[in-house]
Amino acid sequence: MHPALSVIIFTSLSGAGYGSLAILAAVKYFDFFTLNPLYGFFSSAISLLIVTVGLISSTTHLGHPRRAWRALSQWRSSWLSREGVFAVLSYLPAGVFCVSFLIPTPFNSIIDIICLLTIAFSLATVFCTAKIYASLKTIRQWNHLLVVPVYLIIGLFDGAIFLVVLLTIIDGLQFFQLNYFIIFLGAVAGLAKILYWWSIDSTQSQSSTSTATGLGSSNKSVSMLDAPTTSETFIMREMGFAIARKHSRRLRLITILTLSIIPIIIIFLMTQPIALVSPLVLGIIAIVFSYFGTIIERWLFFAEAKHVAMLYYGASKV
């Protein structure tokens, strides 16, 4: 599938934004550590901003961005619509959550409910985003059990790194539990991606040029002799993206390094007393790497996905 930049930016940014909102709300709800109100306000506000930038980016690939509101109507059947609905709904609790840091209320139970709603809507939005892809039977590499967990884990991972960095900036503080949580998430993300790649490499599609045309049999191969047009059709432009095996292997390695291994090491170093580099510098390096890794991971997610319709256009397998 053709990797569209706007969609890659949207899924990675919104994942990170919702991830950090969910973690922040969980920290508050379970009282893992005391949140400095200024920190709570800024980190939730910036998370919402990141989410908003992502959502706006996602509308830029639409043919009619100004009709985007219509996408909220078909939540009964469409994961894309559900994603939109949760994205809009999440602004309510997340907005109240954000402001609640500035205006202390005596009603702790209300804040608790707000926290729970923030967690639920944030995770639900990322879940729906992943489901848009995972529910497509036409693309074997997407219609996979690991797609949804990977979207959620990477979102939480990117979000948590962002929270750690803000913590060192605003609070000048570190809560090592958060660092250990990131290390755990990074390791799970890396392992899940390796398992995913192994799985898509070792399974085969049920569909082939033979089933697509109904012309083949065990002793008769079917192959394309002539395309319907001398130039490329919409289908070929949208779905005909193919990445060389050599390149995909290299990018997989880069993904594991930048998304998982390097950030894990840096986040671990932050917990160690080293005088040379400040935790803030370390944290920023970790953000740069993990976000770069996320972009490459998303790009590959598209580039390695093969649509069955390409069987009509000369693909020998999908």
- Note the residues at the interface with other proteins (CB under 8 A): 1, 61-65, 67-68, 70-74, 76-81, 84, 132, 135-139, 206-207, 209, 211-216, 219-235, 238-239, 307-310, 312-313
Complex with other proteins: residue 68 or 269, whichever CB lies closer: 68
DSSP 8-state assignment for residue 120: H
Q: How far is the CB of 68 from other proteins (least distance, A)?
A: 6
Complex with other proteins: residue 135 or 174, whichever CB lies closer: 135
Complex with other proteins: residue 183 or 305, whichever CB lies closer: 305
171: closest CA among 27, 51, 53, 30?
27
Q: Which residues contact 279 (CB under 8 A, 6 or more apart)?
A: 168, 174, 270
Residue type, 80: L
CA distance linking residue 150 with residue 155, whole number of Å: 8
Is residue 230 classed as helix, strand or coil in its secondary structure?
coil
Q: How far is the CB of 6 from other proteins (least distance, A)?
A: 11
182: closest CA among 43, 23, 47?
23
Q: How far is the CB of 228 from other proteins (least distance, A)?
A: 4
Complex with other proteins: residue 59 or 271, whichever CB lies closer: 59
Complex with other proteins: residue 132 or 166, whichever CB lies closer: 132
Query: What are the phi and psi torsion angles at 307 (to 5°)?
Result: -90, 140
Determine the straight-line distance between the first and last CA of the chain, rounded to whole angstroms: 11
Q: How far is the CB of 309 from other proteins (least distance, A)?
A: 3
CA distance linking residue 294 with residue 154, whole number of Å: 7
Q: Which residues contact 135 (CB under 8 A, 6 or more apart)?
A: 79, 143
- The count of other CB atoms within 10 Å of the CB of residue 149 is 16
Complex with other proteins: residue 39 or 151, whichever CB lies closer: 151
- The count of other CB atoms within 10 Å of the CB of residue 216 is 15
- The count of other CB atoms within 10 Å of the CB of residue 199 is 13
Locate 66 and state its tokens: 């100004």
Q: How far is the CB of 82 from other proteins (least distance, A)?
A: 9
* Residue 315 CA from chain centroid, whole number: 28
Complex with other proteins: residue 59 or 248, whichever CB lies closer: 59
Q: How far is the CB of 313 from other proteins (least distance, A)?
A: 7
Query: What are the phi and psi torsion angles at 66 (to 5°)?
Result: -75, -10
Locate 107 and state its tokens: 């009603």
Complex with other proteins: residue 188 or 224, whichever CB lies closer: 224
Q: How far is the CB of 305 from other proteins (least distance, A)?
A: 9
Q: How far is the CB of 35 from other proteins (least distance, A)?
A: 36
